[in-house]
């Protein structure tokens, strides 16, 4: 869930060198402040310099062109990757074994697997219950994604309805497109890699629609029963078959499945009530 100590020290070295270079132009801190002193300044001042530097993409291009700190090519490539940073507000949704998962607020919404630096993000947040809304800058670091060391959590409590909606969006995105684990390729150019790329190709499922259509047709005939219990059980079977049929639609499957799920719940409730009676 975090970079190695050596990689974290390399990141801070490079980022501080870049901020010190930008500061010589922006003069938010003393003009000649050494790079190693940048992070020792008040956090508000560091954030102000960071924000002002990101707002001037020409300074990053100038730094890359001049290479005033004589960085070797592999380190210069890391800095060049920051052209493809992501700035904004994110929901921290999960802390997984490999990384923390952040979900963007800006459209289009995506999931990002983000590593901590010296400490995992979960530790930085003090174990706060998820989701947590934060302001952050995500940076490519070689073939992974990190944040730039400054995380601004918002002290917001989420109600059950909002949490449920966020979790549904998280689950849908994870299944459909996976978690984005890299923003650039080995050459430093934009290249999105997601968690789905690591999965073995799934065997294609058979086309179950003809079988489900036949089941639906058969359950429609089962409207006459000898007992109330049979009638309630057949109603549940019929509602479940219709739900399965909705899930196999090529368009609008989720909306239709939600509608038909209500019929399943009604049938289930009626059956449970019937079974709870002393006589049926």
Query: What pLDDT is recorded for position 250?
Result: 78
The per-residue pLDDT for range 52-90, each reduced to its tens digit, is 999 999 999 999 999 999 999 999 999 999 999 999 999
pLDDT digits (tens, 9 = 90+) for 123-178: 999 989 999 999 999 999 999 999 999 999 999 888 989 999 999 999 999 999 99
> What is the tens place of the pLDDT at every residue in 52-62?
999 999 999 99
Dihedral sign, CA of 74, 80, 84, 86? positive
Structure tokens at 207: 């086309």
Q: Is the pLDDT of residue 280 over 70?
A: no
Handedness of CA 264, 265, 268, 274 (dihedral sign): negative
Considering the entire predicted model, what is its pTM?
Answer: 0.73
What average pLDDT does the chain have?
A: 92
Residue 21: partners with Cβ closer than 8 Å, 6 or more residues away: 59, 63, 68, 69
* Confidence at residue 209, expressed as pLDDT on a 0 to 100 scale: 87
3-state secondary structure of 57: helix
- Summarize the chain as % helix, strand, coil (round to 5): 50, 15, 30
Displacement of CA 263 from its chain's centroid (Å): 32
**pLDDT tens figures, 196-217:** 887 766 677 788 888 898 898 9
For residue 31 the two structure tokens come to: 């003009």
In this predicted structure, what is the pLDDT of residue 275? Answer: 86
Can you read off the two tokens belonging to residue 145? 């994604």
Phi, psi values for residue 252, rounded to 5°: 70, 25
């Amino acid at each position: 869930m975090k970079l190695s100590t050596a990689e974290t020290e390399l990141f801070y070295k490079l980022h501080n060198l870049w901020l010190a270079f930008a500061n010589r132009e922006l003069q938010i801190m003393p003009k000649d402040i050494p790079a190693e002193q940048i992070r020792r300044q008040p956090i508000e001042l560091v954030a102000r310099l960071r924000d002002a530097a990101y707002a001037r993409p020409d300074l990053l291009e100038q730094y890359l062109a001049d290479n005033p700190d004589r960085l070797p090519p592999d380190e210069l490539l890391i800095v060049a990757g920051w052209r493809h940073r992501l700035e904004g507000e994110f929901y921290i949704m999960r802390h997984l074994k490999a990384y923390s998962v952040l979900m963007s607020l800006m459209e289009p919404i995506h999931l990002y697997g983000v590593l901590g630096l010296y400490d995992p993000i979960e530790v930085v947040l003090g174990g706060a219950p998820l989701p947590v809304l934060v302001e952050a800058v995500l940076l490519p670091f070689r073939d992974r994604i990190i944040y730039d060391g400054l995380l601004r959590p918002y002290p917001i409590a989420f109600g059950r309805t909002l949490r449920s909606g966020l979790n549904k969006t998280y689950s849908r995105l994870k299944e459909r497109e996976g978690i984005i684990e890299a923003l650039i390729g080995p050459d430093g150019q934009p290249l999105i890699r997601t968690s789905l790329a690591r999965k073995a190709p799934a065997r294609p499922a058979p086309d179950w629609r003809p079988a489900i259509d036949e089941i639906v047709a058969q359950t429609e005939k089962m409207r006459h029963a000898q007992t109330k219990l049979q009638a309630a059980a057949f109603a549940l079977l019929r509602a479940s078959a219709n739900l399965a049929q909705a899930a196999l639609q090529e368009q609008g499957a989720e909306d239709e499945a939600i509608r038909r799920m209500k019929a399943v719940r009604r049938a289930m409730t009626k059956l449970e009530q019937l079974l709870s009676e002393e006589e049926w």
